[in-house]
Each structure stands twice: as structure tokens, then as C-alpha cells.
Copies of this chain bind each other. A is one copy, B any other.
Amino acid sequence: MHNLITEIDEIFHSKSIAVYGVSRKGGLGNILLQGFIDQEFPNMFIINPNITEPNVKIMGIPVFPDLKSTGKAIDLVLCSTHPKFVKDIIIESGEYGVKAVIIFSAGFGEKGEEGKNAEEELLKIARKYQMRLIGPNCMGFYCPETKLSFFPALPKESGSLGFISQSGSIANILAFSSMLKGIRFSKSISYGNAIDLGFNDFLEYLGEDSNTNVIACYMEGIDDGRRFIELVKKIRKPIIIWKVGITPAGSKAAHSHTGSLCGNDLLWDNVFSQYGIFRVYNLEEMISTIQAFINPMPVNNSRVAIISGPGGPAVSSADACEMNNLKLAELTQESKMKLQEYIPEFGTSMSNPIDISLQATFDPILEKSTYEIVGNDPNVDMMLIYLTMLTPRYKDLINLQKRISKPIALVSAIDVNVSADSFSSMVKRSFIHIRAKKVPQIINQMNHNGISVHPNEQLAAKALYNIYQFHNQSYSP
């Protein structure tokens, strides 16, 4: 299958692009094009057979009535027209020597028998010209390294997350949500109805891609379960899958969405746990899980220390750890004695969960010292820290982490991206805030140091267990 990897990699490294479906009056095609303009992709052409006069530009990009008129070699064609035009565009592209076509257009297999037949026809044409197809009914590729995009305003910085999605909108929402959480992509792939290149092809590709360290997926159905299992057995990177179509209602919805057959969910669940795949159930959980795997610190034991300013969440976090098969660490006597020097006598707890009380809000030394003592305790393998909101003390944690290298999951009860501006000036006076604009970069920095940020204690505990699992799982042969 080495050819497949090379072929996909060549598509990602396309040097010139032609876009169908851009018009003077605007529409989805124009929005797609804006994505490439924002990434500053260098060699682009708009193909619109209705515009035959010379030297026309739309959105600053030159327009030609057909591929031939460009006079340039075209590696990749993007097709965002009404579905009835797609077949002719595929033929024209094949004849012109294009390597691949991304078919954004919907209105094929997901619409029933007739659409399925149309898809088969497209595939036959593509095969004839040895041209690859992505889609139809997809958003295509986002790859900041090579300036490909599927939406305007996506970040230009590359990262280590490879994402594969049957749903274009999920790829899009994840890209925007990830921006807030400082997560950057190596590649994001929306493959839609997958008449040619599909889930397994891209999974195999990302498994080999040296820029991708963690793989996340949104999946409705899959064609070749055996190949999927062979791949996940082979890939040694963390794989996170949001598999939907769990219930009859969900399966039916998936079928009308991308024409997928979802399969027996219990079977999927077994496959996922057998091969160490991390299953998630919504976007929020997917982002939590991705963050934990940006740089998962090696860990051999699952003894967690919980540090919480608020006492209530300390109790709830202890529940969350135990329910996720984690153990509560027993601090050494030495640590407990050191903690006594810093932690107030009353309204606190020096045994795990360590409750440093409301005092922590006003006493940065207390928080920092607790992190230091607990983080360095040899009985502590991982840390779960519950905060009311993110404060500038995140720096203490990063500095500590550089010495201890243990998985750390942080809960911020108030969403980390919420700006102090949402509060009254009275509240702003009471808390030391971080400016909202700086937060994504801070989370990015934390993630790269093995610290993930979560919206609740259950997701934080699950993230820690996932990291432990990843380093300590043995696969069935």
C-alpha cells in the first residue's frame, strides 16, 4: 500500500489548484476559496464556463472558462457546483491530467439509489484517468503546512493533530473550537461519502505521517472493518474516535447524512476497547481527550493526587478518579509534614484529596508550594487539579512539570476561554484574570508540557486514565 500513502501525500502537497463553483454573486464556493486565500495558497485559478471574457478576477483570483485556458498544470481540482455539473468536471479534470478532485458538492449517494449510481459513474471515470477522488459531500483538506484549507480564517500554524471526519461540519467546528484551546493540526480531512479515498486510507496515511502524533476521528460508518482492525493494531499513536449512530434513531440519521451504515454499536465498543482506541461521545469530550494526548507523559502507575481550592469538587474529583479505575495516592509522611508549613490549619485537608481551601484564591505561595510538594512526592504518579478559573499561576505548574514529567489534568470550573469582560468590574477587582486573547496560546503551551485542561472532573479523570492506558496496554494479537 506504499503507493496509496505516496498518492495521498502528493495530493496534500498539490502545487496548483483550480476551483469550480465560484461566482460573482458569492456562495459556498466563494467561501471555500476564501479559505485558500487566507492560507495564502500561491497558484489558484477559478474555472467558470459562464465567464468567457479575458482578465476577469473574482476575490483577486483569475477566472478562466476551462482548465485548458489556464495554460498551467493543475494538481488538484475543487468542485463546489450543483451536482449535475460534477461528472463533466471530472471528465475534464481527468483529460487535463489533474491528480485529484475534491468534490464538495452534495446530492449523491446520501440521496438514494440514483445518487449511488451517479457516484459509481464518477469513480469509473476517475479510475480511467488514474485520478483520485475525495467526497462527494465533504469539505476536503485543511493542511496549514501546504496551505490547503476548507474554511476561511483557519490558523496558519501547524500542529500534531491529524483529524479524519465523515462530517464536514464537525471538521469545521473542531477547527474553530481547537483554535480556542490552542490545538493545532497537521492535517484535517473531511471525506464525506468516500466513493474513492475513505476513512481507512486516511487512517493509514496519518499513521505513517511524521507530522501527526495524535489521531482523532468522527465516524458514522465504515466499509472495511477488517482493514480498520489491521490498521489500529499497527498504528502506535493514540487514536480517538467519536463514533455516532449508536441508537436506531442515530443510525437512521447517519444514513440520511452520508449514506452510512453504522453497524452494531456493541461490536464497535468491543473493537475500540480491545485495540486501545479512546472512544468519545461529543465535541467537548473529544477536545479534552485530544489535549491529554498532545504530549502524554509516560506513567507506569495510576496513583492520582487531587489538589483543589474548593473542598466540594475535591470530593467529587475523588469519586471521578475511582469511577475511572484510578487510585488515590497516599502521600509520604515527608510531604504531609511539608504541606503543614503552608496549608492553613482549618477548613483544609492535607491528606489526598488535598483541599487548600478558599485561601488559595488570595495566597499564590500556598498554591505554588502545594503543587511543588505534591508533584514531587514519589507516591504520586499523576495530578488532578481543580480550579475555579485559570489564573496566571499556570506558570508554576509548567515549571514544576519540566522537572517531574507527570500527567496533569486541570479542571477549570469556569470555561478557560471566558473573558474577564463577561464579569462586572466588581468581580474583576476580586480575581487575577488572564486576558482571553492569551488563553489559547497558554493552553497550547500547557498541552505541550503534558498538562490538559477540562470542563469537569469526570473528563479530567478519564483523560488521566486514558494516558495510563495508552502507556500500559497490551493488545490482543
Contacts and interface: CB of A to CB of B under 8 A. Distances in A.
Contacts of A318: 247, 249-250, 252-253
Contact of A319 (B168, B176, B246, B314): B246
A38 B429 CA distance: 12
Nearest to A389: B176
A284 B176 contact: no
A282 B170 contact: no
A313 B252 CA distance: 14
A436 interface: yes
Interface string A20-59: 0000000010010000001000000000000000000000
Contacts of A246: 319, 323
A298 interface: no
Interface residues of A, number: 97
B31 A414 contact: no
A444 interface: no
A426 B153 contact: yes
A437 interface: yes
Given A172-B358, A247-B322, A430-B152, A257 B311 contact: yes
Contacts of A321: 249
B283 A313 contact: yes
A415 B413 contact: no
Interface in A296-326: 306, 309-316, 318-319, 321-323
Contacts of A345: 107
A173 B106 contact: no
A167 interface: yes
Given A422-B437, A437-B422, A312 B257 contact: yes
A32 to B, nearest CB: 10
A244 interface: yes
A475 interface: no
A284 B456 contact: yes
Max chain B Cβ within 10 angstroms of own Cβ: one of A106, A177, A250, A429: A250
Contacts of A220: 312, 315
A319 B458 contact: no
B427 A176 contact: yes
A156 to B, nearest CB: 10
Contacts of A353: 253
Copies of this chain, complex-wide, total 2
Interface in A105-150: 105-107, 111, 137
Contacts of A322: 247-250
B170 A424 contact: no
A355 to B, nearest CB: 7
B247 A319 contact: yes
A179 interface: yes
Given A153-B429, A246-B319, A170 B313 contact: yes
A450 interface: no
Interface string A396-428: 000000000000000001110111011110110
A257 B169 contact: no
A21 to B, nearest CB: 12
A312 to B, nearest CB: 3
Contacts of A258: 311
The listed residue with most B CB atoms (<10 A of its CB), out of A218, A245, A321, A419, is A419
Interface of A: 28, 31, 38, 82-83, 105-107, 111, 137, 151-153, 155, 165-170, 172-173, 176-177, 179-180, 218, 220, 242, 244-250, 252-254, 256-258, 281-285, 306, 309-316, 318-319, 321-323, 328, 345-349, 351, 353, 355, 357-359, 362, 388, 413-415, 417-419, 421-424, 426-427, 429-430, 436-437, 439-440, 455-458
29 contacts: A28-B359, A31-B362, A38-B426, A82-B346, A106-B357, A107-B345, A107-B346, A137-B346, A153-B423, A153-B427, A169-B309, A169-B310, A169-B311, A169-B357, A169-B358, A170-B310, A172-B310, A179-B424, A180-B423, A220-B312, A247-B323, A253-B314, A282-B456, A283-B413, A415-B415, A415-B417, A417-B418, A419-B421, A422-B440
Closest 8 CB pairs of A and B: A167-B312, A169-B310, A106-B347, A250-B319, A107-B346, A247-B322, A170-B312, A153-B426
